[in-house]
Amino acid sequence: MKKLIKYLLLIIIIGGGGIKAVAQNNTNNKDSVVQLYGVVMTADSLRGLPSVSVIVENKGRGTMTNEQGVFSIAVLKGDKIRFSSVGFKDQEINIPKNLEGTDYSVIQLLVTDTAYLPAYVLKPRPSRSQFERDFVSTNIPADQYEIARQNTDEAKRRVLVATLPADGREAVALQQRQAAARYYYNGQQAPINLLNPFAWAEFIKAWKRGDFKRK
For residue 13, CA distances in Å to 3, 4, 7, 8, 89 come to 15, 14, 10, 9, 56
pLDDT higher than threshold 70 for residue 27? no
Residues 91 and 81: their CA atoms lie apart, in Å, by 8
pLDDT at position 21 = 42
pLDDT higher than threshold 80 for residue 52? yes
User: In the 8-state DSSP scheme, what is residue 45?
Assistant: T
Task: Kindly list the strands in the beta sheet with 91-94, ordered across the sheet, starting from the edge strand earlier in the chain.
Answer: 61-64, 53-56, 80-84, 91-94
Check: CB of residue 96 under 8 Å from CB of residue 79.
no
Provide the pLDDT confidence category of residue 15 given band limits of 50, 70 and 90: low
pLDDT at position 197 = 79
Residues 77 and 60: their CA atoms lie apart, in Å, by 16
pLDDT at position 1 = 53
pLDDT at position 85 = 94
Residues 62 and 85: their CA atoms lie apart, in Å, by 13
Q: pLDDT tens digits, residue range 150-194?
A: 888 888 888 887 888 778 888 888 888 888 888 887 877 777 777
Q: pLDDT tens digits, residue range 189-208?
A: 777 777 777 788 888 888 88
Check: CB of residue 69 under 8 Å from CB of residue 39.
yes
173 phi/psi in degrees, rounded to 5: -65, -40
Highest mean pLDDT among 79-83, 120-124, 173-177, 181-185: 79-83
pLDDT higher than threshold 50 for residue 22? no
**Cross-strand pairs, 39:** 70, 107
The CA dihedral of 64, 109, 91, 101, to the nearest 10 degrees, is: -70
pLDDT at position 165 = 79
Q: How far is CA 119 from the centre of its chain?
A: 32
pLDDT at position 114 = 82
Exposed, middle or buried, 64 (CB in 10 Å: 0-12/13-18/19+)? middle
**Mean pLDDT for the chain overall:** 81
pLDDT at position 19 = 41
pLDDT higher than threshold 70 for residue 214? no
Q: At 156, which helix (H) or strand (E)? A: helix 154-163
Domains defined along the chain, listed by start: 32-110 (2.60.40.1120), 139-188 (no CATH)
Q: pLDDT tens digits, residue range 89-117?
A: 999 999 999 988 889 999 999 999 887 88
